[in-house]
Amino acid sequence: MDNDDSIPTLVDETTKVPVTILTGYLGAGKTTLLNYILTENHQRRIAVILNEFAQGSAMEHLLLTATTDEKGGDGRQRYEDWLELRNGCLCCSVKDVGVQAIEQLLEKRRNHFDYILLETTGVADPLPIVNMFWLDDELHSDLILDGLITVIDAYNGLKNYADDRHQEKALWSRQVAIADVILVNKIDLISQEEKSKIIELVRSINVTAQIYETTRSHIDLSLILDRNAYSKNSPPDYLLKNIPDQATTLIPHGNQTLNSVTMEFNGQFDFDKLDHLIIELLWNEQTSEQEIVRMKAVLCCSDESTYKLLQAVGQMYEFISTNEKHCDNLRNCFVLIGSNLNQERLREQFQKCLK
Amino acid sequence: MASIAVEEHLCVTPNCGDKAKLRCPNCVKLGLIDGSYFCSQDCFKGYWQEHKKLHTSAKSSTSSSENSENYNPWPGFHFTGKLRPYPLTPRRLVPPHIERPDYADDPNGRSKSEEGEKSASSTIVVLTDEQQDILRDTCRIGRIVLDEAARSVRVGMTTEEIDRIVHECCVENECYPSPLNYYKFPKSCCTSVNEIICHGIPDLRPLQDGDIVNIDISVYKHGFHSDLNETLFVGNVDQKSRDLVRTTYECLEKAMEMIRPGTKYRDVGNVIQKHATANGCSVVRSYCGHGIHKLFHCAPNIPHYAKNKAIGIMKPGHSFTIEPMINAGNMTYEPELSCNRILIGSWRDILWNDNWTSATEDGQRSAQFEHTFLVTDTGCDILTARSSGQPWFMDGNNIS
């Protein structure tokens, strides 16, 4: 407890602490990246949480590693701590127990961290973890989901992808599909031709992620942190830039493969019809082979004069109103990432929702 | 006299009164809300000498007993209201011939079936006709148990007594009290008094004249669970508490009106929060309604607050609970404006060191009501309804 004679600094409870989730196969370079983050002198106070973070599993602890910036000190001290998971009420609780543990960390050490990096196990589907951290605004959590970073091993990447075992291919693809930033690591170990192939593959799966080629996971932190991928303040034009139409670049593959589809429309949408369609596409349990894992859109609806954004991860989605008027520029752009996407049918379905 | 409902805080420095979003970190640690907001660091510095007295008095009052109750198993813990935990009695046993849920015998009270379900899809189960009938019966028994407990409530009775009655009634009806050992919950029902939002553990504290108490019952029979709760009056309850309880019940009623095929689960919270706010109350965010059948808690997740991203649409055969927890607000009279200003009660909750009991952050009272519902082709069946159709607090006979 602080000495009551020294006046403490007021705490702003309205600023949120961003949480970036990091995934990737074992050996891809995640640990190297994390060590780099912990040791590099980057003026940030980042807490790294290492763990076999899987949804629904009642683990005992999460390991927290962070660097402290001692006031006036030059070295960066590293300390480790265990975050205890409250094993009381898992029932009817809105937040996952892991999310609560991290919030408690912030409660105790609010003034110590301004960023959280969460490493997940490379063998888990990142989708439920992203959903876990994509909290409703009304919860007024200290945390805000910033984005998902996937590190892939360029050297083994194509092999990982071509691997016969269904599960493996699907998982690797999902980690790429849901990412906001992809680090194609170990780029120094492969030829120019292999590099083109792997990047083309990654691009075909995820058309909107930022892709960076890295060696030994070295990357300017400002490129991977503060992505604001789930922010309500993303500028509407980020999607309206020219995104190459992916329909033609199909890499032959079997079932369960993921790819991106981009669609543009002119006009205004009937919001209710569109909402209904989104629900049909995302919530209709197993009525078709098609699965949409990620969706982003900028659109114009007839009920508002400003652009609306759409964010969807798995079955969770929301529409966000913006302050930017669309005026006469009634352009709409949708990006869908998923498996067995029937582009023609999708286009028809969206078309029907236009006024 | 008009009232303004307000959610923001104003700087507490005298003669300031500007909008305040910054808080004193010492107050945060002590759990103090009133008096902790400031508009700027400068304003705060200026008032520091006077303000820090709040910390000293808060630290000392946790050990004093100004109307608060004495037993304190956690020295140094800052309680937000007057309620204190009392000692517990030994764990009760359920006779072995009664069917037990999987967590009953797990050393950590973990439910493997529920955890397995969580990592699978969040598909909402549609019950067959046969399963619906089984659930109906389990809910009917849940209601019998709650009525038995409610009937017995009187001033001076301990919540531990209520638990005994609940436990014995379950055994009599050949069902397992679902809360017992669920993630190590030590008792057979939850009793939440006054500022306790939910999951209060029955103990040796006697109910006092003027208390409100929520009794939350869940029973397990034929392999299915049921879940219901009601807030009751103990003796002579003040008007503010009566209003709170009535508002809370109305929130549940309004939510009930929208249960039919096609309603989105995420819309339930919009209706509840609107009604709560209109009555100067706030909605607890941390706990939500949930699917219930063979599993105690499963999909769907139904938050009670507005603008949530809950997944799913109601279909015939879905079974779930809606259980809004509503907190009373703070009202102050603004003389310059000649009206009441309501600080819409803090919706935040604080967990006690027993890892279960959830209390309001500002110490104001909280009420709750819950039913288990089954969606039908045209609407819903309220499986845990009382035969009279009316909750106990409306019966009018003040239990004394």
Residue A59 pLDDT > 60, yes or no? no
Length of chain A: 355
CB contact at 8 A, A322 and A306: yes
> Is residue B68 predicted with pLDDT exceeding 60?
no
Nearest to B323 by CA among B341, B305, B348: B305
> Span B39-44, mean pLDDT?
89
Contact state of A283 with B286 under an 8 Å Cβ cutoff: no
Final residue belonging to a domain, choices A223, A250, A283? A223
pLDDT tens digit sequence for A220-231: 988 998 888 888
Q: Please report, for residues A119, A275, B137, the alpha-carbon distance to residue A116 in angstroms, rounded to integers and kept in the order given.
A: 10, 33, 48
Within a domain: residue A327? yes
Same domain assignment for residues B121 and B246: yes
Q: Which of A116-125, A163-172, B301-310, B345-354 has the highest mean pLDDT?
A: B301-310
At position A31, the amino acid (one-letter code) is T
Residue A89: which of B190, B363, B269 has the closest Cα? B190
Predicted ipTM of the assembly: 0.84
Range ranked top by mean pLDDT from A83-87, A191-195, B184-188: B184-188
The mean-pLDDT minimum among A8-22, A122-136, B115-129, B272-286 falls in B115-129
Do A324 and A239 contact (CB within 8 A), yes or no? Answer: no
Same domain, B154 and B297: yes
- Of A163, A197, A223, which residue is a domain's last? A223
CATH code, domain with A174: 3.40.50.300
Chain B positions touching A316 (Cβ under 8 A) are 309, 311
- pLDDT for the residue numbered B32: 75
My answer on whether B40 and B163 are in the same domain is no
CB contact under 8 A, A136 and B307: yes
Residue B399 in any domain: the answer is no
CA A261 – CA A243 distance, rounded (Å): 10
The partner residue sitting opposite A138, judged by closest CB among B28, B45, B305, is B305
Residue B354: DSSP 8-state: T
Which residues of B make up each annotated binding site?
A: 199, 216, 227, 290, 297, 323, 370
**pLDDT at A275 (0 to 100):** 95
How high does pLDDT run on average in chain A? 79
What is the distance between the alpha carbons of residues B354 and B345, in angstroms, rounded to a whole number? 24
Does B48 share its domain with B121? Answer: no
Residue A56 and residue A172 in one domain = yes
Regarding whether B246 and B151 lie in a shared domain, the answer is yes
Quick check: is B276 in a domain? yes
Whether B200 maps to a domain, the answer reads: yes
Q: Is A55 on the interface with B (CB under 8 A)?
A: yes
Does B243 share its domain with B369?
A: yes
pLDDT of residue A73: 40
Residues A82 and A217 in one domain: yes
Residue B338 to chain A, least CA–CA distance (Å): 31
Mean pLDDT of A12-18: 81
Do residues A182 and A301 share a domain?
Answer: no
CA R_g for chain B: 22
The percentage of chain A sitting over the pLDDT mark of 90, rounded to a whole number, equals 25
Asked if the C-beta of A78 comes within 8 angstroms of chain B's C-beta atoms, the answer is no
Is A109 within 8 Å of chain B by CB? Answer: no
Instruction: Assess if residue B162 is contained within a domain.
Output: yes
Structure tokens at B313: 């649409």
- Whether the per-residue pLDDT at A53 is higher than 80: the answer is no
Whether residue A100 lies inside any domain: the answer is yes
Q: What is the pLDDT of residues A183-201, one digit of tens each?
A: 999 988 888 988 898 898 8
Cβ-Cβ contacts under 8 Å for A178 (sequence gap 6 or more): A126, A127, A130, A148, A150, A206, A293, A294, A313, A337
pLDDT band at A252 (very low <50, low <70, confident <90, very high): very low
Same domain, A149 and A252: no
A218 and A241 in a single domain? The answer is: no
- A255-275: pLDDT as tens digits: 457 888 899 999 999 999 999
pLDDT over 80 (residue A214): yes
CA distance A214 to chain B (A): 33
Tokens of B136: 């109906």
Contacts of B81 (CB under 8 A, 6+ apart): B194, B195, B359, B360, B363, B364
More confidently predicted of A5 and A37? A37
* Residue A160 in domain: yes
Q: What is the CATH number of the domain that holds A270?
A: 3.30.1220.10
- Residue A148 belongs to a domain: yes
Q: Domain limits at A110?
A: 17-68+77-223
Q: A226: phi > 0 → left, psi -120 to 50 → alpha, else beta; which?
A: left
Lowest mean pLDDT among A158-162, B248-252, B282-286: A158-162
**Nearest chain B Cα distance for residue A101, angstroms:** 13
**Could you report the per-residue pLDDT of B75-104, keeping only the tens digit for each?**
888 899 999 999 999 999 999 999 999 999
Residue where the block lists tokens 């991290």: A102
**Is residue A228 assigned to a domain?**
no
When pLDDT is averaged across residues B350-379 and rounded to a whole number, the result is: 95
Provide the residue type at B99 as one letter.
Answer: E
> CA-to-CA distance for A79 and A81, rounded, in angstroms?
7
Mutate to test the interface with B, among A87, A89, A141, A295 (most CBs of B within 10 A): A89
Residues B112-124 have pLDDT tens digits of: 898 877 655 568 9
Task: Kindly state whether residues A211 and A105 are assigned to the same domain.
Answer: yes
State pLDDT tens for residues B7-20: 667 788 888 878 88
Q: Are residues A251 and A319 in the same domain?
A: yes
Please determine, for residue A60, whether its predicted confidence score (pLDDT) is greater than 80: no
In this prediction, residue B344 has a pLDDT band, given cuts at 50, 70 and 90, of low
Q: Are A9 and B28 a contacting pair at CB < 8 A?
A: no
Which residue's structure tokens are 């069902």?
A: B175
Q: What is the CATH number of the domain that holds B254?
A: 3.90.230.10
What is d(CA B330, CA B94) in angstroms, rounded to the nearest whole number?
43
**Could you give the residue ranges of the DSSP H alpha helices within chain B?**
25-30, 41-51, 53-61, 112-119, 129-152, 159-172, 239-257, 266-278
Residue A151 has pLDDT above 50, yes or no: yes
Binding site, annotated residues of B for a protein = 199, 297
A209 in a structural domain: yes
- Regarding whether A249 and A210 lie in a shared domain, the answer is no
pLDDT score of B380: 97
SS (H, E, C) chain A: CCCCCCCCCCEECCCCEEEEEEECCCCCCHHHHHHHHHHCCCCCCEEEEECCCCCCCCCCEEEEEEEECCCCCCCCEEEEEEEECCCCCCCCECCCHHHHHHHHHHHHCCCCCCEEEEECCCCCCHHHHHHHHCCCHHHCCCEEEEEEEEEEEHHHHHHHHHCCCHHHHHHHHHHHHCCCEEEEECHHHCCHHHHHHHHHHHHHHCCCCEEEECCCCCCCHHHHCCCCCCCCCCCCHHHHCCCCCHHHCCCCCCCCCEEEEEEEEECCECHHHHHHHHHHHHHCCCCCCCEEEEEEEEEEECCCCEEEEEEEECCEEEEEEEEEECCCCCEEEEEEEEECCCHHHHHHHHHCCEC
Q: Does one domain contain both A164 and A291?
A: no
Q: How confident is the model at residue A5 (pLDDT cuts 50, 70, 90)?
A: low
Instruction: Indicate whether B131 and B220 sit together in one domain.
Output: yes
Confirm or reject contact between A285 and chain B (CB < 8 A): yes
Task: Please check whether residues A201 and A332 belong to one and the same domain.
Answer: no
Residue A1 lies in a domain: no
Q: Does A91 touch chain B (CB under 8 A)?
A: yes
Contact with chain B for residue A328, Cβ under 8 A: no
If asked whether residues B45 and B124 sit together in one domain, one would say no
Partner-chain contact A4 B26, CB within 8 Å: yes
Higher pLDDT, B63 or A257: A257
Closest in B48, B121, B288 to A92, CB measured: B288
Confidence of residue A82 (pLDDT cuts 50, 70, 90): low
Q: Which domain holds residue B123?
A: 112-393
- Least confident window among A7-16, A329-338, B172-181: A7-16
| Domain C-terminal end among A190, A223, A256 | A223
- Min Cα distance B19 → chain A (Å) is 13
Domains in chain A, number: 2
Mean pLDDT of chain B: 89
pLDDT (average), residues B57-70: 57
The dihedral region occupied by B218, where left means phi > 0, alpha psi between -120 and 50, and beta the remainder, is: beta
Chain B within 8 Å of A327 (Cβ-Cβ)? Answer: no
What is the model's pLDDT at position B93? 96
Same-domain check for residues A58 and A132: yes
A200 within a domain of the structure (yes/no): yes
Question: Above 60 in pLDDT, residue A233?
Answer: yes
Q: Which residues of A, range 191-250, sit inside 8 Å of B by Cβ?
A: none
How far is the alpha carbon of B64 from chain A, nearest alpha carbon, in Å? 20
Q: How confident is the model at residue A70 (pLDDT cuts 50, 70, 90)?
A: very low
Q: In this predicted structure, what is the pLDDT of residue A229?
A: 87
pLDDT at A243 over 70: no
| Number of domains into which chain B is organized | 2
Select from B29, B122, B285 the Cβ nearest to the Cβ of A139. Answer: B285
Average pLDDT over residues A302-308: 88
Confidence of residue B125 (pLDDT cuts 50, 70, 90): very high
Whether B63 is in a domain gets the answer: no
Report whether pLDDT(A26) > 50.
yes
Is there a single domain that holds both residue A250 and residue A337?
yes
Q: Are B308 and B300 in contact (CB under 8 A)?
A: no
> What is the spatial distance between Cα B319 and Cα B120, in angstroms, rounded to a whole number?
19
* Averaged pLDDT for residues B267-285: 94
At residue A11, does pLDDT exceed 90?
no
Hey, which residues does A143 pair with through a beta bridge? A17
